[in-house]
C-alpha cells in the first residue's frame, strides 16, 4: 500500500514571530531619538533658508524696482510700513516696498526667530546701509531642544548684502 506524502507545514512558529518583533522593537528604540534629531535639524534648516530667500528677494526687488526695499521682523501679519518693524523675537518677517508689503514669512512653532536689527533696508544699488555704513548683523533661528546639539542657525548679514547661514548651539538646548 502506498502512503500519501505529508505536505510540509508552512508559516512561522510563535518563537520566530516573537524574536522578529523583539528585534523590530529594539531597532525602533535606537532609531527614535536619531529621527527626532533629523526632523528638528530639517525644521531649523527650512526656516533659515526661507529667511535667506526673503532677504535675497528684498535685495533683488530693490535693484529691480530701483527703489528702497526693507526686510524686517514684525508682530503684525499685515505690516506695510517701516514703522511696523521691530527688533527682538518676531513671529512675522516681511519685505516692504514703496507700495507696501511685498512678501511675508510666518515663523512656524516651535522655532523662534530673533535679531538685534530693527530693519535691513536695501537701496537701489542692492546694498543695505544705515547712516552711510554698510549693515552687518545676525538673525538667529532657534529651537529649544537638545536634539540636535546645534539647535540654532545664524543668518549673518555682512558687507551690506552678503548673507550666510551657519549652525550654532552650545548643547544646552536654550535659545538666546
**33-67 confidence digits (pLDDT tens):** 778 889 999 999 999 999 999 999 999 999 999 99
Q: Is the pLDDT at 2 greater than 80, yes or no?
A: no
Inter-CA distances, 74 with 77, 78, 89, Å: 7, 9, 9
The residue among 4 and 35 whose pLDDT is bigger is: 35
* φ, ψ of residue 108 in degrees (nearest 5): -100, 135
* 29/24 Cα distance (integer angstroms): 9
| Average pLDDT value for the chain | 91
Which cell numbers hold the place of 27? 531597532
- pLDDT of 36: 87
Are the C-beta atoms of 153 and 128 separated by less than 8 Å?
no
Are the C-beta atoms of 154 and 165 separated by less than 8 Å?
yes
Single pTM value for the model = 0.82
- pLDDT of 63: 96
- pLDDT of 99: 92
* 2/78 Cα distance (integer angstroms): 90
* 116/99 Cα distance (integer angstroms): 26
- pLDDT of 52: 96
* 22/150 Cα distance (integer angstroms): 33
The CATH fold of domain 14-168: minor pseudopilin epsh fold (3.55.40)
Q: Is the pLDDT at 8 greater than 80, yes or no?
A: no
Are the C-beta atoms of 106 and 91 separated by less than 8 Å?
yes
* 57/37 Cα distance (integer angstroms): 30
- pLDDT of 173: 81
Q: Is the pLDDT at 106 greater than 70, yes or no?
A: yes
- pLDDT of 66: 97
Q: Report the percent of the chain where pLDDT is more than 70.
A: 98
- pLDDT of 140: 95
Q: Is the pLDDT at 1 greater than 70, yes or no?
A: no
Q: Is the pLDDT at 102 greater than 80, yes or no?
A: yes
Amino acid at each position: 500500500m502506498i502512503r500519501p506524502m505529508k505536505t510540509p507545514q508552512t508559516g512561522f512558529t510563535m518563537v520566530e514571530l516573537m524574536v522578529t518583533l523583539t528585534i523590530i522593537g529594539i531597532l525602533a528604540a535606537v532609531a527614535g531619538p536619531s529621527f527626532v534629531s533629523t526632523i528638528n535639524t530639517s525644521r531649523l534648516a527650512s526656516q533659515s533658508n526661507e529667511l535667506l530667500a526673503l532677504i535675497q528677494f528684498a535685495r533683488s526687488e530693490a535693484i529691480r524696482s530701483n527703489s528702497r526695499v526693507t526686510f524686517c521682523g514684525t508682530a503684525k501679519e499685515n505690516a506695510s510700513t517701516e514703522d511696523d518693524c521691530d527688533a527682538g523675537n518676531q513671529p512675522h518677517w516681511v519685505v516692504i516696498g514703496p507700495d507696501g508689503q511685498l512678501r511675508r514669512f510666518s515663523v512656524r512653532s516651535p522655532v523662534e526667530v530673533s535679531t538685534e536689527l530693527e530693519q535691513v533696508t536695501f537701496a537701489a544699488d542692492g546694498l543695505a546701509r544705515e547712516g552711510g555704513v554698510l549693515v552687518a548683523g545676525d538673525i538667529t533661528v532657534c529651537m529649544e531642544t537638545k536634539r540636535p546639539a546645534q539647535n540654532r542657525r545664524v543668518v549673518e548679514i555682512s558687507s551690506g548684502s552678503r548673507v550666510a547661514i551657519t549652525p550654532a548651539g552650545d548643547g544646552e538646548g536654550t535659545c538666546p
